[in-house]
């Protein structure tokens, strides 16, 4: 049975002390949908993701889920972190097993889940390696395997490729597209990279500069499977350029603000 | 179509007029590495010189007895059983004080690292009491606990407690917050986060603290034994000094040094075993 869970941002506002970060942000991530959040630096993208995933209490509004995740989902809202967040004292297999340790699973069942997650991320040969022995791309694969192991309804990805080199980024992006292709999982994908956003998302939420407000919600007029061919690439490039024109001015202003701070 | 270079060895045409010079190497130094035997060789050289100075009469052996005299004193003390009496008395005091202080320090350190209430109260007291030289409290502890072993053990425990508590809560504070958030994002219970994330994350700092508390314990046991004890290395060293038996005095110092080295080795072993992932 697949997940039928929506994630709703309901009039979310947030401030850190006197600093207003988010202002009245509302949107819905439907079951199986991939929504990218883009915007200038400091517009509150990661803050919004933390609120959606229950790691931060918003100052106003709330994050809600509607419907039910798949019965075998052990953590419906699961993060994939920019810095991988792997336990350095645990091997690859132990890192993937970590979120399962408090679930009601026998050691045999746990082992089967870990094996499956490692196989899906091509990490089976590295199960005994420690994070320090892996490249950045491999470490992020471990982060993805750990997320897959708990069978999430919605993946919350906070710039998951930004710490990686361009070739590794390309390879992992292909993996993400493959993993999300069957619609069994939805995702919220926070990025500053518009190319990634148009490649992976069904819809793109464009935030304004701080305090982040929704400026536009752009629907990608192509299914994810259609985006591989050359004509689609041209359309995506055009879309990317449109998005850039939407945020260019504000990105420059945000940059100037950082320099003057 | 990609434009590929035909010959990988091909290089842009060189200016044949100008003379080619090697680029000067500037990256040397700033990477000290101890040689495998250099420490031992230096030790043997120093001992040899010291022995020579004593044997040749360059130094009065009453002020600085040669290594052979110190070794002989240790041998005699071992044969008479006095060495064992003194060393075992000190080891028991250090062991009891260190374990008590470490246990209390671990509990209080973790409480300060994990609870806002404990942090508010604990840091104030630790900041106020940590700078006090703990040996200054020995007379008060003798008043409270009598003149037996208890005040000496309590002095050591107090000294160990503060350093341990500080290294534990510093270690807890140093655990990367992203790891804790990761565990929370998977709904991992609090106790499991403490056991599987915070404890291993704080362990490097805790073990570094053990290294410090071992030397604190050694310092305090010697001081406490010098103030009031019949047996113990501190009492023995003081007694030997009073009787101008400098060979025996230095025999006691050598025993202290060996004890410190042994504890250091033990902590190295612990680190190798528990921090193998680094």
**Cα–Cα–Cα angle for A77, A81, A86, nearest 5°?**
105
Torsion of CA B78, B81, B87, B93, to 10 degrees: 170
Note whether A206 and A245 are within 8 A (CB): no
Residue in A55, A77, A98 closest to B196 by CB: A98
The nearest alpha carbon in chain A to B177 belongs to A85
- How confident is the model at residue A219, as a pLDDT? 92
Determine whether the interchain pair A130/B178 forms a contact, defined as Cβ–Cβ distance below 8 Å: no
Both structure tokens of B116: 């806002």
**CB half-sphere exposure, B222, CA atoms < 13 A:** 15
Rg (CA), chain B: 28
Band of pLDDT at residue B9, cut at 50, 70 and 90: low
Q: Could you tell me the CA-to-CA distances from A245 to A46, A233, A235 in Å, in that order?
A: 22, 18, 15
Chain segment A105-122, per-residue pLDDT in tens: 899 999 999 999 999 898
Nearest to B216 by CA among B150, B133, B272: B133
Chain segment B79-127, per-residue pLDDT in tens: 999 989 999 999 999 999 999 999 999 999 999 999 999 999 999 999 8
Residue in A78, A81, A90 closest to B178 by CB: A81
Backbone angles phi, psi at B272, to 5 degrees: -60, -40
Cα separation, B229 vs B238, whole angstroms: 10
The answer to whether residue A260 neighbours chain B at the CB level (below 8 Å) is no
- Within 184-223 of B, beta carbons closer than 8 Å to A belong to 184-189, 192, 196-197, 200-201
Beta-sheet pairing, A19-29 with A154-158? unpaired
Determine whether the interchain pair A75/B187 forms a contact, defined as Cβ–Cβ distance below 8 Å: yes
DSSP of B180-226: HHHHHHTT--HHHHIIIIIHHHHHHHHHHHHHHHHHHHHHHHHHHHH
Mean of pLDDT over chain B: 90
Note whether A98 and A127 are within 8 A (CB): no
Chain segment B197-231, per-residue pLDDT in tens: 999 999 999 999 999 999 999 999 999 999 888 89
- Residue A193 CB: number of other CB atoms within 10 A? 17
Cα separation, B237 vs B231, whole angstroms: 10
Residue in B178, B201, B277 closest to A85 by CB: B178
pTM of the model: 0.84
The answer to whether residue B181 neighbours chain A at the CB level (below 8 Å) is yes
Distance between B96 CA and the closest CA of chain A, angstroms: 31
């Amino acid at each position: 049975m697949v997940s039928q869970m929506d994630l709703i941002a309901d009039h979310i506002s947030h401030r850190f002390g006197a600093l207003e970060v988010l202002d009245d942000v509302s949107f819905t991530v439907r079951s199986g949908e991939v929504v990218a959040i883009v915007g200038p630096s400091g517009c509150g993208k990661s803050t919004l993701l933390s609120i959606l995933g229950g790691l931060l209490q918003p100052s106003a509004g709330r994050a809600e889920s509607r419907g039910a995740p798949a019965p075998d989902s052990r953590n419906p809202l699961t993060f994939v972190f920019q810095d991988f967040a792997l336990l350095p004292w645990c091997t690859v297999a132990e890192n993937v097993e970590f979120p399962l340790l408090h679930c009601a699973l026998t050691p045999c069942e746990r082992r089967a889940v870990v094996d499956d997650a490692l196989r899906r991320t091509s990490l089976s040969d590295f199960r005994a390696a420690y994070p320090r022995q892996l490249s950045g791309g491999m470490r992020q694969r471990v982060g993805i395997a750990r997320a897959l192991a708990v069978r999430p309804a919605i993946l919350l990805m906070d710039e998951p490729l930004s710490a990686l080199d361009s070739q590794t980024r390309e390879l992992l992006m292909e993996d993400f597209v493959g993993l999300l292709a069957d619609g069994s999982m939805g995702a919220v994908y926070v990025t500053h990279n518009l190319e990634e956003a148009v490649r992976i998302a069904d819809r793109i939420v464009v935030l304004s500069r701080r305090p982040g407000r929704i400026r536009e919600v752009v629907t990608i007029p192509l299914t994810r499977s259609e985006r591989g061919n050359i004509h689609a690439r041209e359309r995506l490039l055009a879309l990317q350029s449109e998005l850039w024109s939407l945020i260019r001015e504000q990105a420059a202003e945000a940059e100037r603000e950082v320099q003057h701070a | 179509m990609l434009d590929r270079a035909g010959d990988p060895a091909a290089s842009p045409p060189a200016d044949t007029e100008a003379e080619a010079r090697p680029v000067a190497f500037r990256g040397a130094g700033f990477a000290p590495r101890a040689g495998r035997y250099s420490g031992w060789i230096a030790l043997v050289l120093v001992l040899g010189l010291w022995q020579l100075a004593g044997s040749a009469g360059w130094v009065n052996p009453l002020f600085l007895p040669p290594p052979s005299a110190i070794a002989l004193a240790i041998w005699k003390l071992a044969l008479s059983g006095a060495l064992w009496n003194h060393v075992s008395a000190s080891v028991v005091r250090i062991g009891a004080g260190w374990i008590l202080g470490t246990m209390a320090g671990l509990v209080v350190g973790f409480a300060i690292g994990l609870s806002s209430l404990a942090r508010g109260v604990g840091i104030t007291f630790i900041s106020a009491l940590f700078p006090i030289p703990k040996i200054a409290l020995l007379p008060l502890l003798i008043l409270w606990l009598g003149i037996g072993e208890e005040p000496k053990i309590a002095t050591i425990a107090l000294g160990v407690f503060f350093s341990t508590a500080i290294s534990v809560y510093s270690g807890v504070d140093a655990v990367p917050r992203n790891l804790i958030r990761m565990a929370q994002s998977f709904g991992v219970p609090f106790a499991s986060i403490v056991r599987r994330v915070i404890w291993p994350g704080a362990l490097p700092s805790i073990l570094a603290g053990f290294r410090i508390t071992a030397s604190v314990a050694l310092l305090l046991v010697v001081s406490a034994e010098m103030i009031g004890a019949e047996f113990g290395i501190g009492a023995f060293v003081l007694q030997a000094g009073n009787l101008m038996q400098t060979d025996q005095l230095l025999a006691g110092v050598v025993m202290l040094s060996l004890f410190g080295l042994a504890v250091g080795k033990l902590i190295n072993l612990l680190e190798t075993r528990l921090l193998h992932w680094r």
